[in-house]
Amino acid sequence: MPAKLTKRLIETLQPRDEPFELRDSELKGFVVRIERGGAKTFYLRYAFGGKRSCRHKLGVFPNVSVEGARSLAKAASGDVAKGIDPAARKKEEKIKAANERVSTLGVYLKEKFEPHALTHMKSGAVQLKRIRSDFEKLLNKPLMAIDKDMVAHLQQDWLKAGLQKRTINRDLQRISSVLSHAVSSGTIKHHPLKGGAVAPLKYDKKKVPRFLKPDEEAALRSALIAREEKMRADRDSFNDNKTISKKRKVLPKLEGDYIDHLRPMVLLAMNCGLRRGELFSLRWTDVSLTTKMITVEGDANEEGDGSKSGHSRPIPLNTEALSVLKAWKKRQADTNGLVFPSQDGARFNNVNKSWSAVRKAAGLNKFNFHHLRHSFASKLVQAGVPLNTVRELMGHADISTTTIYAHLAPGNLHAAVALLNSAAA
pLDDT attached to residue 121: 84
pTM reported for the whole predicted model: 0.60
Portions of the chain given CATH number 1.10.150: 102-184
pLDDT attached to residue 310: 58
Give catalytic residue positions.
275, 308, 370, 373, 396, 405
pLDDT attached to residue 425: 53
Q: How far apart are CA 348 and CA 336, in angstroms?
A: 17
pLDDT attached to residue 286: 95
Portions of the chain given CATH number 3.30.160.390: 7-93
* Alpha carbon distances (Å) from 304 to 128, 167, 234: 11, 18, 37
Tens digit of each residue's pLDDT (9 = 90 or more) over 299-340: 544 444 444 545 789 999 999 999 999 999 988 877 789 999
Q: How far apart are CA 267 and CA 305, in angstroms?
A: 20
pLDDT attached to residue 300: 47
Portions of the chain given CATH number 1.10.443.10: 214-238+253-408
pLDDT attached to residue 308: 53
Let me know: does 359 contact 224? Beta carbons within 8 Å.
Answer: no
CATH class label, 7-93:
alpha beta
Q: How far apart are CA 405 and CA 385, in angstroms?
A: 11
Half-sphere exposure of 137 (CA within 13 A, CB side): 9
Low-confidence ranges of the chain (pLDDT < 70): 95-102, 205-208, 242-248, 298-310, 410-416, 419, 422-425
User: Does 214-238+253-408 carry CATH code 3.30.390.50?
Assistant: no
Q: What dotted CATH number matches 102-184? A: 1.10.150
Tens digit of each residue's pLDDT (9 = 90 or more) over 74-106: 999 998 888 888 888 888 777 666 655 557 888
